[in-house]
Amino acid sequence: MSSLQSLFKPNSIAVIGASNNKEKIGYSIVENIKNCGYSGAVYPINPKEKEILGYQCYPSIGEIGRPVDVAVISIPAAPSLQVARECGQAGVKFLVVITAGFKEIGEVGLKREKELLEICREYNMRLVGPNVVGIMDTHSPLNASFADGSPEKGEIAFISQSGAMLLAILDWSRSRGLGFSRFVSMGNKADLNEVDFIWSAAEDPNTKVILAYLEDVTDGKRFIQVVREASLKKPVIILKSGTSSAGARAASSHTGALAGSDLAYDVAFRQCGVIRVQEMSDLFDLAISFINQPVPAGDRVAIVTNSGGPGIIATDSVERNGLHMARFSKETIEKMRQHLPVEASLYNPVDVLGDARADRFNVALEAVLEDEQTDSLLLLLSPTAVTEPEKTAESLVSLRKKYASKPIFASLTGGKRLEKGARILTQAGIPCFPFPEPALKSIAGMVSYTRLRQKIQRRTPLPEVTEKAKATVKAILYDVMRDHRSVLLGNEASQVAAAYGIPVAPIYLAKTPEEAITIADSLGYPIVLKVASPKIIHKSDVGGVQVGLENAAQVREGYLKIMDSVSRLLPGTPVYGIEVQKMMPKGPETIIGMTRDLQFGPLLAFGLGGIYVNLLKDVSFRLAEGLNMEEIEEMITETKAHTLLRGYRGSTPCDLCAITEALARVARLSLDFPEIKEIDLNPVIAYPDSAMALDVKITAANENEQEE
Ligand code: COA
C-alpha cells in the first residue's frame, strides 16, 4: 500500500484558486494553512494576484519551478480538469479536489470524475475527493481545508464521507475540548478511499483510535484484507449510515454511494474487528474511552452507587449490552462490611446509601477495584444534601492511578451541583456521563474490541482444491453458459459440489425410464426421482418428485408419472430428463447457502433446515473473503441448530467437523468462481459420522450480468 506520508506531511503545498477575496473558499484554505502553523512552502495560484496572505502568488502551477507535494484545487468543476493535468505535468504527488460537480450530480459529473481520475492515473498522482472539505493533521501541522479553523491536537483520527458531518464535529469537538490527530474528508472517493485512510491512520504514530463515518465501502475485498490488519494495530470504530432502505437511497444521492446489504456490512465489520456503532454520540463516547482508558480484560463490571434506582437501571443495561455483573470475592464483601453501614448493599451493585460522603464511596470503590473479579468499574452518583461530588471525584482519580489496568467510568446524574465533580473526572480522563447507559455502552464497545481482536488473530485458512477440480467446475459452467442457462441442472450442480469435496448425495441424469432403472440398480434402492428442468424451481408443486421407489418397476412408473404430470401442468416447459438419486436416511436437517453481496462478495449462510427454516430464522452469516476455519466453527455455534447437532437431550451428537468442512468448501468454491451467484444446499443432513446434502442448487451469472 502506497504511503500517504507526503499528503499529511507535505514539504510544499499549492492552492489553485487561492483568492484575496475573504468570501471565497480559496481564501479560507490559504488562511487555514497559514494559521495552523504549517512550516513547509506555500504556493497560492491565481493569475490575477501577486500575493495572497503574505505568500508570493503564481499564475499557474507550472511556473512555480519547484517540487509540489500537494495541490489543493478550488476552482469550478469545468476548468478543474485542465488544472489537474497541469498539476500532473508539474510532478504534483497528491491532488485534493475541493470542487463539487462530479459523480454526485449525475451523468455529466460522473464522466468528469472519470476523466479526472484518468488524468491522475496518467501522471501517477493520488487524488483526495473530489467534493471534499479537505484534510488536516494536527501533528504536522497541516490544515488544507475550508473548515472554520483547526481542531485541537489529539489522538483521534476522524475520516468522513460527509464533509458537513466533519465540519459539525469539528465545531462540536472544540466546545468539548476533544483533540484530533487527523480530519479527513473523503468526498466522492474517486481514488483514495476509506481503506487508504484507515490504513494510513493505523500506521500514524500520533493516532490512537480511528473513527469513520461511512455511507458505503468502495472495495469490499480490499476493505476486509486491510482493515483487519488495521484493527490489530488500534481500534477502528465505524458509523455506517444508510441502514434503512430510505437511508440507503439518501446515501446514494449524497455522494453517489452504492449501498450494499446492511447485513453484509455488519458481517464484514465483525470479521475485520471493526466496532460498529449506530449513533454519532456512541462514536465519540467510545473514542474518548479508548483514548483515556486501558482496554478491559473481560466483561465483568462492578457498580458502586449511592442510590437504588440508577443502580437498577445500570444493572439492566449491563445485561442489555452483553456484559456481566462482577461477583465479588468473600474478602471484598468482608472488607466493605467492616466499613459500610449495615443497611448498605454489599453485592454488586454496591449501594453505599444516600447519606454516603466521599470516604464511604472510597472504601467501596477501592474494595471492588482490588477484586480480581472486576474488569471495569462504574461509579454512579446522585446528589443528596450530604454528597461530596468533588471529593468523591478526586478520590476516584487517585484510585485510577493505583489501579491503572482497569477502566473506570462515571455517571454523575444531576445538574449544577455535579458540574465541578464531572469536570475533575473528565480532565483526569475518566469518561463521565449524565446517565449510566452510555457509560455501559462504552464499556461494551471496549470489551467487544478485545474479543474481536482475539478472533481476528486466529487464521487457519480455508482448504485449497486441485487444479483438476477447478477445471471440472470450469467445464461445467462453460456448458451452462453455452446453453444460455443460469441455473445448473441437478446433476451438474452435484458434479460441481463433488469436485470441490462438498458432500452431496450423487445425482445422475436419465433421459429414458430404462436409463433411470440402470442408474437406480447401480446406486441401490430406495430411490428418489426429480424432474430435471432449469425452469422448474418448486418441483414438488408440479408433481416433479417421486420418493421411496423400491424397485425397477416403481422407478419406471415414477419416471412416467413425473413426465406426465409436468407436461400436463407446465406444457411446453423444457425438460432435460429425470434426476436419479439414492434416498438417504433421515437426520437433523441444516442448510448451507451462499449469495453474492454487491460490495463484499460471497456471503455464506448456515442454519437449521427443514420445514421450520422460515419460521425460526435460525441462520448465521459470514463473508467468504478472508474467512478462516475458526470463524466457520463459530458461525455454527451461533445458531440454535448447534445445540441440536451437539446432541440434544440424549440424541447422538452429529459430525460438526463435516459441516464445518462443507461450509469451508462452499466458501472456497464461491471465491474461486465469481460467476457463481448463488449456492443452496438444502437440506444438508447431519449424521453422527458425516454430513450429506440431498439437494444442491447452483445459479451462475447469465451472459448479460457477466458483461457488466
Ligand atoms: N488557476 C488559478 N486560479 C483560478 C483559475 C485557474 N485556472 N481559474 C479561476 N481562478 C481563480 C478565480 O479567478 C478566483 O479568484 P478571485 O477570487 O481572485 O477572482 C478563484 O480562482 C476561485 O475561482 P472562482 O471561479 O471564483 O470559483 P469559486 O471560488 O466561486 O468556486 C469552488 C470554486 C471550488 C468553491 C466551487 O466551484 C465549488 O465546487 N463549491 C462547492 C465546494 C464544496 O461544497 N465541496 C464539498 C464540501 S463537502
Per-residue pLDDT band for 177 (boundaries 50, 70, 90) equals confident
Q: How far apart are CA 122 and CA 392, in angstroms?
A: 63
Q: How far apart are CA 636 and CA 645, in angstroms?
A: 10
pLDDT tens per residue, range 48-94: 999 999 999 999 999 999 999 999 999 999 999 999 999 999 999 99
| Per-residue pLDDT at 263 | 87
Atom of ligand 1 nearest to the CA of 83: 7
Residue from 267, 264, 269, 242 nearest 255 by CA: 242
> Which CA distances in Å does 71 have to 9, 63, 135, 200, 690?
13, 14, 12, 19, 62
Q: Which helix (H) or strand (E) holds 199?
A: helix 194-203
| Per-residue pLDDT at 598 | 85
Q: Name the residue with cell 464522466.
A: 111
Q: How far apart are CA 676 and CA 671, in angstroms?
A: 9
Atom of ligand 1 nearest to the CA of 131: 46
CA–centroid distance, residue 98 to ligand 1 (Å): 9
Using most ligand atoms within 8 A of CB, pick from 24, 31, 52 the residue to mutate for ligand 1. Answer: 24
CA–centroid distance, residue 530 to ligand 1 (Å): 68
> Which CA distances in Å does 623 have to 48, 500, 667?
55, 18, 8
CA–centroid distance, residue 77 to ligand 1 (Å): 9
CA–centroid distance, residue 26 to ligand 1 (Å): 6
CATH fold of 1-132 reads Rossmann fold (3.40.50)
Using most ligand atoms within 8 A of CB, pick from 15, 16, 19, 31 the residue to mutate for ligand 1. Answer: 19
CA–centroid distance, residue 655 to ligand 1 (Å): 67
| Per-residue pLDDT at 612 | 63
Residue 154 has pLDDT above 50, yes or no: yes
Q: Which helix (H) or strand (E) holds 658?
A: helix 656-672
| Per-residue pLDDT at 244 | 57
Mean pLDDT of 365-384: 96
Q: Which three cell numbers stand for residue 337?
A: 462490611
CATH number of 295-456: 3.40.50.261
Q: What is the residue with the minimal CA distance to atom 20 of ligand 1?
A: 17
| Per-residue pLDDT at 476 | 97
> Which CA distances in Å does 535 have to 64, 486, 487, 539, 575?
68, 10, 8, 10, 8
**Strands 55-56, 70-73: parallel, antiparallel or unpaired by DSSP?**
unpaired
pLDDT tens per residue, range 612-644: 666 667 889 999 999 999 999 999 999 988 888
| Per-residue pLDDT at 707 | 39
Q: What is the residue with the minimal CA distance to atom 11 of ligand 1?
A: 17
For CATH 3.40.50.720, the residue range(s) in the chain are 1-132
294 prior amide bond cis, ω within 30: no
The letter for the amino acid at 449 is Y
Per-residue pLDDT band for 1 (boundaries 50, 70, 90) equals low
Residue 257 has pLDDT above 50, yes or no: no
Residue 543 phi/psi, 5-degree rounding, is 70, 30
CA–centroid distance, residue 145 to ligand 1 (Å): 13
Using most ligand atoms within 8 A of CB, pick from 22, 45, 46 the residue to mutate for ligand 1. Answer: 46
Per-residue pLDDT band for 674 (boundaries 50, 70, 90) equals very high
> Which CA distances in Å does 641 have to 397, 609, 637, 645?
48, 9, 8, 6
Residues composing the chain: 708
Q: Which three cell numbers stand for residue 376?
A: 471495569
CA–centroid distance, residue 30 to ligand 1 (Å): 13
Atom of ligand 1 nearest to the CA of 98: 45
**Residue 298: partners with Cβ closer than 8 Å, 6 or more residues away:** 375, 447, 450
Which is more confidently placed, 45 or 280?
45
CA–centroid distance, residue 618 to ligand 1 (Å): 56
| Average model confidence (pLDDT) across the chain | 92
Mean pLDDT of 679-707: 85
Q: Which three cell numbers stand for residue 119?
A: 488524468
Per-residue pLDDT band for 16 (boundaries 50, 70, 90) equals very high
Per the CB < 8 A criterion, the answer to whether 459 and 228 are in contact is no
Residue 252 has pLDDT above 70, yes or no: no
Residue 255 has pLDDT above 60, yes or no: no
Q: What is the residue with the minimal CA distance to atom 43 of ligand 1?
A: 100
| Per-residue pLDDT at 248 | 53
| Per-residue pLDDT at 68 | 98
Q: Which three cell numbers stand for residue 223?
A: 476493505
Per the CB < 8 A criterion, the answer to whether 156 and 180 are in contact is yes
Residue 260 has pLDDT above 70, yes or no: no
Most confident range (mean pLDDT) of 260-269, 338-347, 611-620 is 338-347
Q: What is the residue with the minimal CA distance to atom 27 of ligand 1?
A: 75
Residue 197 has pLDDT above 90, yes or no: yes
Count of CB atoms situated within 10 Å of the CB of 368? 27
**Residue 379: partners with Cβ closer than 8 Å, 6 or more residues away:** 304, 305, 361, 365, 392, 396, 408, 409, 410, 411
CA–centroid distance, residue 156 to ligand 1 (Å): 31
CA–centroid distance, residue 27 to ligand 1 (Å): 10
| Per-residue pLDDT at 611 | 63
The pocket around ligand 1, CB under 6 angstroms, is made up of: 16-17, 19, 21, 24-26, 45-48, 74-76, 79, 83, 98-101, 131-133, 163
Q: How far apart are CA 311 and CA 301, in angstroms?
A: 12
Which is more confidently placed, 260 or 594?
594
Q: What is the residue with the minimal CA distance to atom 18 of ligand 1?
A: 19
**Residue 320: partners with Cβ closer than 8 Å, 6 or more residues away:** 440
Span between the terminal Cα atoms of the chain, in Å:
28
| Per-residue pLDDT at 457 | 82
Mean pLDDT of 296-311: 95
Partner residues linked to 209 by β-bridges? 156
CATH number of 151-292: 3.40.50.261
Helix (H, G, I), strand (E, B) or coil at 248: helix
CATH fold of 506-582 reads Dna Ligase; domain 1 (3.30.1490)
> Which CA distances in Å does 243 have to 166, 250, 260?
20, 10, 10
For CATH 3.30.470.20, the residue range(s) in the chain are 589-707
Q: Any idea what the Cα angle at residue 219 is, between residues 596 and 592, rounded to 5°?
A: 20
CA–centroid distance, residue 75 to ligand 1 (Å): 3
| Per-residue pLDDT at 613 | 65
Count of CB atoms situated within 10 Å of the CB of 369? 21
Q: Which three cell numbers stand for residue 358?
A: 466521599
pLDDT tens per residue, range 105-131: 999 999 999 999 999 999 999 999 999
Per the CB < 8 A criterion, the answer to whether 589 and 608 are in contact is yes
Residue from 577, 607, 566 nearest 589 by CA: 607
Q: What is the residue with the minimal CA distance to atom 5 of ligand 1?
A: 17
Per the CB < 8 A criterion, the answer to whether 319 and 420 are in contact is no
CATH fold of 589-707 reads D-amino Acid Aminotransferase; Chain A, domain 1 (3.30.470)
| Per-residue pLDDT at 250 | 52
Per-residue pLDDT band for 256 (boundaries 50, 70, 90) equals very low
Per-residue pLDDT band for 160 (boundaries 50, 70, 90) equals very high
| Per-residue pLDDT at 646 | 87
| Per-residue pLDDT at 647 | 82
For CATH 3.40.50.261, the residue range(s) in the chain are 151-292, 295-456
Q: Which three cell numbers stand for residue 699?
A: 445459479
Using most ligand atoms within 8 A of CB, pick from 23, 75, 185, 188 the residue to mutate for ligand 1. Answer: 75
Helix (H, G, I), strand (E, B) or coil at 168: helix
Q: How far apart are CA 86 and CA 16, in angstroms?
A: 11
44 prior amide bond cis, ω within 30: no
Please give the DSSP secondary-structure letter assigned to residue 38: -
Detail the DSSP E strand segments found in 354-468.
376-381, 408-412, 432-433
Per-residue pLDDT band for 245 (boundaries 50, 70, 90) equals low
CA–centroid distance, residue 598 to ligand 1 (Å): 36
Burial of 330 (0-12, 13-18, 19+ CB in 10 A): exposed
CA–centroid distance, residue 213 to ligand 1 (Å): 27
Residue 145 phi/psi, 5-degree rounding, is -155, 170
Q: What is the residue with the minimal CA distance to atom 19 of ligand 1?
A: 19
Q: How far apart are CA 85 and CA 123, in angstroms?
A: 8
Per-residue pLDDT band for 705 (boundaries 50, 70, 90) equals low
For CATH 3.30.1490.20, the residue range(s) in the chain are 506-582
